[in-house]
Amino acid sequence: MSFSIGTRIAVSALCLACAGSFAAPATQIHADTIKNSSCQSWQLMSSPNPGMVNSSLGLAASAGNDVWMVGQQNGTTKDPHVAPLLEHWDGSKWSGMSVPATKAISVLFAVTTNSPQDAWAVGINADKNAPTSTLTEHWDGKQWRSVASPNVSGANANNFLYGVAASRANDVWAVGEANAKQSKSSALLEHWDGKQWSLVASPNVVQGANHLQNVTSLSPNDAWAVGSVNINNQSATPLIEHWDGKQWRLIDSPNVAGHVNALTGISASAPNDIWAVGTSIDPKSGDSRPLLEHWDGKQWSMLPDVGLVSDGGLQSVIALSPTNVWGAGSQINDQSKEVPLLEHWDGKQWSIVASPNSQADGSSLNTIIRIPGTARLIGSGTSYTKDTASTLVISTSCS
């Protein structure tokens, strides 16, 4: 059984088709890094599921009692109304939160938070059979409200925001893609300066369709965005861009030649210790492998997972220190069932860590974070059957 990249690109198409969708999340840098440590076994966490089809796509935390989870929900797999999923962890339980009125099809793909009084969630908004527009929501400590965000104009142009990250309250980046023609998508970059969202010019690889999936921001003059450039149906290369405080520019990165390669997650423990993860698929055999790339302050290099996964990929990553990095995604097991995948980097090699799983037909992890100021890690994703889907949330504590 072949594994397909669960990127936000695929999710967008599913959302517009009014079906359940599952995607990768956003990541962010934490100033308080922790060194390698021993962790307890991962455990399942209970979370609300307001619809028949629910999917967790993004996580962010500012403290042990302030964790946000976003995604999507709809009544059935054929329900034409797709609504945002928005839940909050107060230190003891997950609770559903009200979302400002949205259009017929609305999804929140990613969330970032600076404090209990400042959080952003981004995604898409559309009426049925209408072009998709950007969706930006802000939390002020009391309520969520919609904030206007720009869109690339053009005949039937679709705009998508897939990732968001903030280094401070007046320095927030959101990334995605915009397209008037599906084959020629361009990278979409938007910035919040404390007063308004504005479009920022993005370099694009002219030979293909450019998609930015995720972003991390270390400071106002140091941010990274990752994604992919689709050359054709048989080939895609990783896309990495860097912000130096003045402009975004393309950065060379390794590539598995002849494969469909996509980066979906990025995280940094320091300016010279940044990890990007994704999936590399052989178009001939359909087999997939995790794509693992590292920035050492000078260049990106590709690190193998030494054959740990025979058919799977990573969607998200959290870098805690040079010797403590976690990746989350999914793989196909011996029974041809999709199951959660957790990998850990100890400074020398990657290894697989056992993950709890539901009794559903399939499950995947879309995001992984650490709660700042603690040694607690949380991962989330989706467990699904033929007609239903529920949020999958797992947690561990490290000493």
Q: Domain segments of the chain: what residues?
A: 8-59+153-158+165-397
**Do 134 and 160 meet the contact criterion of CB atoms below 8 Å apart?**
yes
- Give φ, ψ of 29 to 5 degrees: -85, 145
Q: Which CATH number fits domain 8-59+153-158+165-397: 2.60.40, 3.30.450, 2.120.10, 2.40.128?
A: 2.120.10
What residue has token string 């017929």?
Answer: 104
**Do 362 and 338 meet the contact criterion of CB atoms below 8 Å apart?**
yes
State residue 19's pLDDT score.
32
State residue 184's pLDDT score.
76
What residue has token string 């797999």?
Answer: 77
- Give φ, ψ of 174 to 5 degrees: -125, 140
Three-class SS state of 122: strand
Alpha-carbon gap, residue 346 to 353, rounded angstroms: 12
Q: What's the token pair of residue 284? A: 């001939």
One-letter amino acid of 64: G
Sign, CA torsion 303/309/312/317: negative
Give bridge partners of residue 274 from the DSSP assignment: 268, 295
State residue 5's pLDDT score.
43
How far, CA to CA in Å, does 70 sit from each of 85, 115, 321, 335?
5, 17, 26, 30
Burial of 229 (C-beta count, 10 Å sphere; 0-12/13-18/19+): buried
Alpha-carbon gap, residue 347 to 50, rounded angstroms: 41
Q: What's the token pair of residue 160? A: 């998508």
Enter the DSSP assignment of 39: B
One-letter amino acid of 97: M
State residue 28's pLDDT score.
39
Give bridge partners of residue 203 from the DSSP assignment: none
Centre a 10 Å sphere on the Cβ of residue 323 and count the other Cβ atoms it contains: 14
First to last CA, the chain: 38
Contacts of 150 (CB under 8 A, 6+ apart): 134, 190, 197, 198, 199
Q: What is this structure's pTM?
A: 0.90
Centre a 10 Å sphere on the Cβ of residue 206 and count the other Cβ atoms it contains: 9
**Do 93 and 392 meet the contact criterion of CB atoms below 8 Å apart?**
no
Total residues found in the chain within this entry: 399
- Give φ, ψ of 185 to 5 degrees: -65, 150
Q: What's the token pair of residue 179? A: 């397209």
Q: Which residues of the chain have pLDDT under 70?
A: 1-37, 76-80, 155, 181-183, 233-234, 305-307, 399
Three-class SS state of 72: strand
Strands 288-295 and 300-302, bridge-based pairing = antiparallel
| 345 half-sphere exposure, CB direction, 13 A CA radius | 26
